[in-house]
Homo-oligomer: A and B are copies of this chain.
């Protein structure tokens, strides 16, 4: 895995992070991991932005689940994002629960966990925090910012907010704003959490119980949106779980039921319910074109030097190709060099995390070409 570190940086100690809401946070902790070594001219840094329920353990073992890093297929020595060559940084997003400041942390003013007194954050607030972390690490300009799903949304905000700090970027299965359907599914998840009496208006910390049942239902709902109908049919169909016939009861007769229950019940061990509320809210609030009077191209006006790669997946109904194409069209209209492909796959939104050979080829080619123009050995 090359060199790696597991760290928490405490930023904004003397100053404060000003959020889109107008609220400020001081200090701000950021949990992060790095892989590989920053080169002498500090030109080989890659920032990986993670998705909603992911974390900084992109290529190292998760401290709670003990599972391998979530993108070890792509990140590591000799891999597409080669840690023998690049200095890869991945930080836990602001608001999340693996070392970064969020609703689970103590409010410095009261000494009690923030709960719902934590300010509502945005994707851009996450990105501001990442920029401060990179300052802390001595990284000025990124060779590349990479992200899928909410990670891709962060990369888009990097393009609008810090274009001068980017040489290239990769956006997978993302969107520049949340649609009504996206908001609807997140709202169901939030209502499921808030319906759980153990949620206690967000003040469940240190009380020996937490809204696990509500959060599990939220996770089940989200999980269905990550898979295509074809993927569900292919993976489970109407197969029965450990039985030969229907039980005529309410146990998990079908494999798909058992699978979803498992997804729900394991999620609650590694994720904080309030963090889930805050991060889904940040995603729902995303509407980059709105900040530019509906002209998304204007968001990219200062990014014409950034080489961009956008990839969508044919069976992704959460952030479908049409939403990714909106980004590509706007980039083209702004004169931003962009490579785009829709990968044909039955795996739905989750495809960006899976073994998709066409995606790998495109990523590999893009990174090599970007390295050439970035003065790095391709």
Contact = CB atoms under 8 A, between A and B. Distances in A.
Interface of A: 20-21, 23, 116, 119-120, 177-181, 183-185, 187-188, 190-192, 194-197, 213-214, 216-217, 220-221, 224, 229, 232-233, 235-238, 246, 248-250, 252, 254, 256-257, 260-261, 264, 277, 281, 284-285, 287, 290, 317
Contacts of A177: 238
Contacts of A224: 181, 184-185, 188
Contacts of A249: 120
Contacts of A232: 179-181, 184
B192 A192 contact: yes
Nearest to A254: B183
Nearest to A195: B213
Contact of A238 (B178, B192, B197, B216): B178
A237 B180 contact: yes
A32 to B, nearest CB: 26
Q: How many copies does the complex hold?
A: 2
B191 A220 contact: yes
Nearest to A322: B229
Contacts of A185: 224
B220 A256 contact: no
A180 B236 contact: yes
Contacts of A236: 180
Given A238-B177, A248-B21, A249-B120, A216 B191 contact: yes
Nearest to A257: B187
A246 B285 contact: yes
Contacts of A23: 248
Nearest to A20: B248
